[in-house]
């Protein structure tokens, strides 16, 4: 999944489920400042970070489904 697609999907998921962005940072171990910049579209994550976020999203979507 491309960075922009993942960003949009994550933002939609967080909004629909009332989750805060800080939860993503805590549960993935990624820097909250990097994630904040990514969520706002100012930076792109590297492949490893994208994989981490994508795995987080898949796990949470399965749990909330």
DSSP state of 42: S
pLDDT value at 52 more than 90: yes
Element (H, E) at 64: helix 47-64
Report the domain count for the chain.
1
Structural domain of 56: 3-64
Q: CATH number of the domain that 18 lies in?
A: 1.10.260
CA 11 to chain centre: 7
User: 11: pLDDT confidence band, cut at 50, 70 and 90?
Assistant: very high
Question: pTM surpassing 0.85?
Answer: yes
The answer to whether the beta carbons of residues 30 and 48 sit under 8 Å apart is no
User: 12: pLDDT confidence band, cut at 50, 70 and 90?
Assistant: very high
Largest CA distance in the chain: 30
- pLDDT (tens digit per residue) in 20-38: 999 999 999 999 999 999 9
């Amino acid at each position: 999944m491309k960075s922009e697609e993942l960003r949009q999907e994550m933002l939609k998921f967080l909004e629909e489920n009332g989750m805060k962005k800080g939860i993503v940072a805590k549960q993935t171990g990624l820097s909250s400042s990097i994630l904040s910049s990514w969520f706002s579209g100012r930076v792109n994550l590297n492949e490893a970070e994208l994989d981490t976020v994508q795995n987080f999203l898949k796990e949470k979507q399965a749990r909330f489904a």
